[in-house]
Each structure stands twice: as structure tokens, then as C-alpha cells.
Amino acid sequence: MTSGFEFATAGRIIFGPGSLSAAAPAAAEIGGHALLVTGSSLERSQVLATGLAERKVAWTHYAIPGEPTVAMVTQGVQVATRERVDMVIGMGGGSALDAAKAIAVLVTNPGDPLDYLEVIGRGVPLKQAGLPCILIPTTAGTGTEVSRNAVLASPEHGVKVSLRGPQLLARLAIVDPELTYSQPPDVTAWAGLDTLTQLIEPYTSHRAQPITDVICLEGIRRVARSLRLVYKDGEDRAARQEMALASLLSGMAMTNSGLGAVHGFAGVLGGKYDGHHGAVCAALLSVVTEVNIRALRQRSPGGDALRRYAEIARLLTGDMRAQPEEAVHWVTDLCRALAVPGLRAFGVGEADVPLLAESSARANSMKANPISLTREEMEEILRRSW
């Protein structure tokens, strides 16, 4: 029997090739001065900036040169306040979009950001609606344009943590697959595997629910038939569109049904080592899946999670008789084909394993994993993901 559930996403979603053209008219309906948050360069946002100017919408640029930190967001709030902006537009990868969401909500919820952050802060709930926010992803990976959290790094604490609440949902999300055409193969691979992770983990999560079940299965199906294609040929427009839609679906899934051990580890690893978030997730995905399945067979053989892993295996392999373990083999082969580096490439060593396992056990995403992992299993995952 289905228990109660909640589903939330962006207020409005526009998807399709050329949909970037809707951004400036939408912004003009919202206000007159936007904080335009991008990656390190404004170059890819020039078309949007021109469109804003044509519609008499002023804009102030704020760059996020890497993964967003608490300090970067704090400075962005100061810029937004000083310039008296009345909306925030984020355009770029997940880092720019997370920063845009955090800035938009912290402008209207005063105080130290640590007041609101989980794990390292007080975790005080956000009370006020943020500034209206338009989010435009340029990668097919994070799905953050439709999520209600923003991931921020705190180098002094050595972790990445979330600012979380319905106030972070965008007023408008615009997903234009054409913006992903220029992604290089490595970013295509890492972002795509992040998408796959964000579809597998919500589907097997303790918080899985009927709406996200449908979303996850549809997204996994699209990744299975498109990620290898777009990695080999970045000009494959059909595959690019499939991956952009899968990424959007993954954002809906994770924000409503949670994640799992891959992201539990990735949040800690991302706070301590340099490495693309998607690459870290990719390095962990097959081993986490294998250990989860083994633990379920040992300690919860009659539960629903094994059936769900079998369904994932069938979608990935196309074999309607596939067993859960075949999902592990498929993901392992995919990561090999996409030249995914192991954790050693980011500087993780044997001496780091015990502390990383201890820190990861406290991560919020671990709570939704389909089975509680032992310390020995967590250390095994880290060692085997090298």
C-alpha cells in the first residue's frame, strides 16, 4: 500500500531546443534588475545578457569560478543587496545554479549562512521566500534547476553541505539541450553518470514514491540508450536532448525521494579533495550498487529494494530476465568505456579511509540508502573505488 507523499518542483519548466529565448521575456515580467550568476566566464551567457538589455532589464554579473563555497555565496548576497536586484538568474553548470539559488534565498533570510546549513550549522529552517529565481543549466548532469537544495562547500570544515527548503525552488527552469552541445567528452561522461546516479538512488531510496518511481524509470531508460552515444559523438543532437531530459528528471527525483550512499560519500569527498562531483559519483556508483545488493541479500532478502535493483538491471541491459547484479556489471562496463578515474586520481589514500567512512556515515544522503551499511562495508566501498 502506498503511504502519503509530497512532490515539489520548479514553479514552471520550459524544455526544448532553443528554449533559452524564453528567458529574457520571462525575466522582464518578473522585475527590472537581475543578478546574473554564471561560471567563471560570461561568454556563454552573452545571448541572454543581450536579450535582457533589449527588454530594459538591468543585470549585474557575479561569477562562481569553481564549486560554490559559503564565502562565495555570502559575497554574492552582499553584491545582490548592494545592487538592489529584484531577481536572480543562474546560468551554467550545477555550481553556478546552486550558488544562484543560495544567494536568492539568503538575501531575504538574513543572518549567518551557517544558521541555515545542515551538518556544520544550526539547520534553522528558512522562513522567507527568496528572490524570484530563473535557472538555466548548460550541462546535462545535476538537475539542480528543479531541486530544493543548494550544495555549498565549506573548506574550513572539509565538507560539502546543503542549504535546504522549498524556498530554493526556482520560479522558472529553462532546459535548452542546445546549451550542452559544447560539453567536452569528459564532462559529458561525468555529468551523465551523475544523472544516472540521481535516478538509481531515488528509485531504491527509503523515500521512493509513485511519482518519482515513474520519473526514475523513464530517466534510466533514456540514459541507458543515450550516454554512450553522446560521449562518442557530442554532435548527436537526439542523444543530447535525451540526456538533458534525463538530467531534468533526475533533479525532480532526488529532491522528492532523496539519494543514497554514493552521494553520502561524494559530499564528504568533495569537501576534502578537488574533483568534479560527477566524476566522484561515477567512481563510486558500481561498487556502492554491488555492496548494497549484497547487503540486501544478506540482511533484507525479502524487501522491495532487490526487486527495484532487478528492474534497474532490466532497463540498463534490455534483458527482461536480468538479476540485480547485472546492473553492477553494466555500470562497471560503462565507466570503463567512459574512462572514469578512480578515487586515487583525486588524492584519496589508504590512510584516509577510516575518517572518510566515519564522516560519510553522518551525511544526510546516507539516511535514504536502501539499507544501513556497516563501517566495514563503507570502508570496503572506498578502497574498491580507487
Segment-wise mean pLDDT, segments of 10 residues, the chain, 386 residues = 83 97 98 96 90 97 93 97 98 95 96 87 91 96 94 84 93 97 93 97 96 98 98 96 98 96 93 87 97 97 95 97 97 96 92 94 92 97 94
Query: Which cell numbers hold the place of 257?
Result: 525521494
Q: Within the chain, how many helices (H) and strands (E) appear? A: 13, 8
Residue pair 204/292 in contact (Cβ under 8 Å)? The answer is yes
Please list, in sequence order, all residues whose beta carbon lies within 8 angstroms of the beta carbon of residue 46, skipping any fewer than 6 positions away.
none
- What letter does residue 69 receive in the DSSP assignment? B
Please list, in sequence order, all residues whose beta carbon lies within 8 angstroms of the beta carbon of residue 77, skipping any fewer than 6 positions away.
103, 106, 107
Residue from 199, 81, 216, 102 nearest 160 by CA: 102
Burial profile 229-244: b = 16 or more Cβ within 10 angstroms, e = fewer: ebbeebebeebbbbbb
C-alpha span between 344 and 330 (Å, rounded):
22
Residue pair 356/154 in contact (Cβ under 8 Å)? The answer is no
How do residues 183-195 score in pLDDT, each as one tens digit?
999 999 999 999 9
Whole-number pLDDT of residue 1: 44
C-alpha span between 204 and 310 (Å, rounded):
11
Q: Are strands 13-15 and 33-38 parallel, antiparallel or unpaired?
A: unpaired
Q: How far is CA 42 from the centre of its chain?
A: 22
CATH homologous superfamily, domain 185-384: Dehydroquinate synthase-like - alpha domain (1.20.1090.10)
Residue pair 367/260 in contact (Cβ under 8 Å)? The answer is no
Residue pair 112/118 in contact (Cβ under 8 Å)? The answer is no
Burial profile 78-88: b = 16 or more Cβ within 10 angstroms, e = fewer: ebbeeeebbbb
Query: Could you give phi then psi for residue 118, rounded to 5 degrees?
Result: -80, 165
Query: Could you give phi then psi for residue 152, rounded to 5 degrees?
Result: -125, 145
Whole-number pLDDT of residue 8: 95
- What letter does residue 373 receive in the DSSP assignment? P
Query: Which cell numbers hold the place of 190?
Result: 561525468
- pTM (2 d.p.): 0.95
- What letter does residue 339 receive in the DSSP assignment? T
Cα angle 114, 117, 123; round to 5: 100
Please list, in sequence order, all residues whose beta carbon lies within 8 angstroms of the beta carbon of residue 197, skipping any fewer than 6 positions away.
259, 262, 263, 281, 282, 285
Query: Which cell numbers hold the place of 42?
Result: 560570461
How would you class 361 by CB atoms within 10 Å of its CB: exposed for 0-12, middle for 13-18, buried for 19 or more?
middle
**Domain range annotation of the chain:** 13-180, 185-384
Q: Does 13-180 carry CATH code 3.40.50.1970?
A: yes
Query: In angstroms, what CA-CA distances link 294 with 196, 244, 383?
Result: 20, 32, 17
Residue pair 107/131 in contact (Cβ under 8 Å)? The answer is yes
Query: Which cell numbers hold the place of 346?
Result: 583525486
C-alpha span between 212 and 255 (Å, rounded):
10
Query: Which cell numbers hold the place of 230?
Result: 553522446
C-alpha span between 200 and 190 (Å, rounded):
15
Whole-number pLDDT of residue 2: 59
* Sign of the torsion angle spanned by Cα atoms 21, 24, 25, 29: positive
Residue pair 308/350 in contact (Cβ under 8 Å)? The answer is no
